[in-house]
A and B are shown apart, each in its own frame.
Chain A
């Protein structure tokens, strides 16, 4: 496995202290747009908010020094079709979802398999802060201060065998708690996958939180994947199954529209979506002044990940 030199960083800009200086305020702002909707109670009442602080996070050299998008925007604007089609649906309609207790089934080509509790999965791993760019396939972007740990560190605990060429993931299927799943918007459950070298790459993390608090339901609680050099739909949310497999796995968007969403889905400004350009993106958070800006190859992570695809025709394996 290749570990490239981490990007140059200004550590002063990624310490939890500076990012979280105003956490109370950020949370209060979020309470107005998010917590109020979640709990259906009075706006801005901090006692009603269920965002539990995660404690101390280790800063990471992989963090970008870009300014994080506001918590309120991150927690109120995203795609999570399990809760509905609109980007406001996840925040508005995820109130019934119960991310605890949680368990994850691990199966396939590994020596250790079985069903593990959330605590089994997450417990042994020190949580890091990873401030990553996020690029949606719909041509908008954010900067998210995730809390999590490298996926590779978890996968190694299961001792994958040499047949483990890919890792497949599955989102929970709970139509009672996830109103979007009551309609056949996609073939449920949502499934995603990575090549094993992508899964083991140090940039790939499992996130349990953002902005120093546990993941809000709408952002994929309690456990989600984050692969920052791929379009957002690869970063599967609310994971209940991890499978080590030999062949390229079924992935949901690829199944829904194979000519539009490939298995790899690497951010690539030169390979357009058949219906819209991927050359530029809108940074969320700038109001009416957020004109589109150029999209970077591999979402700006080319130094770290380009070597994974050295011999591949990226316009064919999009």
Chain B
């Protein structure tokens, strides 16, 4: 049987992938403590906000990329990494929001609520986070069984969440939108790849 077999997947591939997903966070902590590279600069709170946000988005996109890449390569085992990757996206998003709540806003709830209600980009972030938490909670086998067919419908929300996050990113940049644009293009390509696949399935019988 080809690499990785079930055992290798559990003992090698998954732990390696786990460490890889955790590496950016470790790098962040080391820099925050002044133990590696440059420190986080004059405004470490903002640096942390951006770093955790961008990695939450990247991991969300990696999660979305797993199915198309599996189709392209035939590596069926990739699907086994999807849940972990999605949970890491939630992990970085949680760090992102905790950084916002505690160091950034100093738990000033009046200001936080005003931000969520009146800053559209924060509203979008809050919606995205709510969605990610819902998917995280229901990502277990137990919930999968309990929800049956509806589970798949629920987890299609991940596309909506990804759109919300790119939008959230787009809306907070000052003038030059190159960076969010790159992520928007990647997301569009990922979403597009699903549509193409759907079409092919639908037209095959007629051909």
Contacts and interface: CB of A to CB of B under 8 A. Distances in A.
**A and B part of one assembly:** yes
Contacts, number: 63
A275 B43 contact: no
Interface stretch (A12-20, A122-130, A209-217, A276-284): A276-284
Given A282-B104, A292-B104, 11 more contacts: A73-B42, A77-B42, A77-B43, A87-B43, A277-B111, A277-B114, A279-B111, A280-B111, A285-B42, A291-B106, A292-B105
B106 A292 contact: yes
Contact residue range for chain B? 20 to 34
Interface string A59-78: 00000000000001100110
A2 interface: no
B172 interface: yes
Contacts of B105: 291-292
Chain B interface, >50% SS class: helix
B46 A288 contact: no
Contacts of A140: 43, 46
Interface in B36-54: 41-46, 48
B151 interface: no
B120 interface: yes
B32 interface: yes
Interface residues of A, number: 28
Given A277-B119, A284-B42, A291 B172 contact: no
A168 B9 CA distance: 66
Contact of A275 (B32, B119, B176): B119
Contacts of B43: 77, 87, 140, 282, 284, 290
Contacts of A26: none
Contacts of A138: 174
A244 to B, nearest CB: 29
B118 interface: yes
Interface in B105-126: 105-106, 108, 111, 114-115, 118-121
10 closest A-B pairs by beta carbon, nearest first, are A291-B106, A77-B42, A73-B42, A288-B103, A284-B42, A256-B175, A288-B44, A185-B176, A287-B44, A284-B43
